[in-house]
Structure 1
């Protein structure tokens, strides 16, 4: 181990990237094909004074270096309070606004995180204050992130919370984000697309076991879960659309 990595603390929780460590007040991740894009994105956030993301500090020893954000990252999805859901919506909107009109967004409205779930949020005193893990960030529509966030922050097929209450939290998230007009009618479609996309993602990994980040049994369980979430949302579509109307 190099002197720079002596005393490194392994950070667990990531499903796709291994070898992430904390060194003092920095986090280091192996360089990937997305490293250059992520570096440029975090520089935009810094330029726009968006504080809800790590700062990019450069590269060393084949590792990207980011500032460490104090706080807690949830180990699993759970039922969130309205204030936490609302804060996530505000944070998502601020992140998108920081990228509007940027070269990275290109012809798309914004740069999307594409994995803006609670598992990629840093909580301080119980409130989500920052996003981490931007490896899947890319130009896109705000509805892509909003659909995924509405799903992962508000909806759960196996949850004992009534679907009407889940729909209310989807509205809370959407209101906090500030989505207005006809686009509100597309939120449920966006949720369904992200659930279907998740099922496809894990199915594609299942087809390439030699490069998969998880065992076949784990992948199979994620596929089953994604499909169950999709079926639940589709069956209760009128409830979710009614809450957003």
Structure 2
């Protein structure tokens, strides 16, 4: 099959909390244009040239002005959950490969890498139980690797829910993530603070959405996500010494 003819049936794609109107057409995905679309196109074009295949391909724009991306087959988890050490390690390895593939582009933009800025499992495609690609690059921007590693450590390893295991086990898995990514000793020491910083940024982000009453996000939903983020931040801060200890050199 080709890249999806204009007469192929559109199938709405669920998952994104903020981007409405995303649809699959044939073997492509159509995303409504946003202020981020041009940079995402530039980034994905650069990644394709480097040989990194853990993301969609930029295919142009359709007659409605929507961004055309290749459809990445696989499974996207419907919710955050417990992931195995192997899955966490694979996600961290994939993130390192993404970052390394962006270094040349990022250097021209005064950044160390281009960060995804939302590399949670909800933006990750799995095949055969393993993470193989990131999707939804709307928040991508130049930055420091720890911005993404800190977010990933929270999203994949840490949870205030009692059924997700004790903080000591979560901290051990964060160490596994740091090992798989290949963090330097200095950055390992900075990772606990980076996790807390990303949670504070998320808290501010969702408070702004709640205050601005963004039309695409129901008020009750944004209030729910804000409250959850605040619980996660409080839990992480209460257990910060556990995470710091787990990342110290053996």
Give the TM-score category using the shorter length.
Answer: over 0.9
Matched residue, 1:206: 210
Aligned to 2:77: 74
Q: 1:89-108 alignment to 2 at 5 Å?
A: 89-102=92-105, 106-108=109-111
Q: 5+ unaligned residues in a row in structure 1: which ranges?
A: none
Post-superposition offset of 1:233: 0.6
Instruction: Give 1:105 shift.
Output: 5.5
1:215 CA drift (Å)? 1.6
Q: CA deviation at 1:5?
A: 5.1
Among candidates 168, 173, 176, match of residue 169 of structure 1? 173
Deviations 1:192-235 (A, max 9, x none): 011111111010011111x3422221111111111111111111
The match for 1:144 is 147
**Counterpart Cα distance in 2 of 1:103 and 1:195:** 24
TM-score between the two structures when normalised by the length of structure 2 = 0.94
- Is residue 2:219 matched to residue 1:216? yes
In structure 2, the gaps of 5 or more residues are none
Q: SS of the residue aligned with 2:206?
A: helix
Pick the aligned partner of 2:15 from 1, 13, 16: 13
Q: In 1, Cα distance between the equivalents of 2:187 and 2:210?
A: 34
Q: C-alpha separation between the residues in 1 aligned to 2:151 and 2:108?
A: 19
Tell me if 1:114 matches 2:95. Answer: no
Partner of 1:64: 67
Structure 1 pair 67/154, CA: closer, same or farther in 2 (3 Å)?
Answer: same
Residues in 1 aligned to 2:53 and 2:162: alpha-carbon distance in whole angstroms: 33
Output one character per residue of 1:3-62: Cα deviation in whole Å (capped at 9) or x when no partner. 715411111111111111111111111111111100000011101000100000000121
- What per-residue deviation string (whole Å, max 9, x for no partner) do you get for residues 55-81 of structure 1? 000001211001111100011000000
Contact 1:105 1:140 in 2 (8 A): no
SS at match of 2:104: coil
Which structure 2 residues correspond to residues 118-197 of structure 1 after superposition, within 5 A?
Answer: 118-160=121-163, 161-197=165-201
Preserved contact between residue 105 and residue 139 of structure 1 (Cα < 8 Å): no
Q: What is the deviation of 1:119?
A: 0.3
RMSD: 1.2
Task: Give aligned pairs, total.
Answer: 242
- For the Cα contact (< 8 Å) 2:8–2:26, is it kept in 1? no
How far apart, in 2, do the equivalents of 1:139 and 1:196 lie? 19
Where in structure 1 do 4 or more consecutive aligned residues deviate above 4 Å?
Answer: none
2:56 aligned residue: 54
Report deviation, 1:103: 5.2
- TM-score of the aligned structures, taking structure 1 as reference length: 0.96
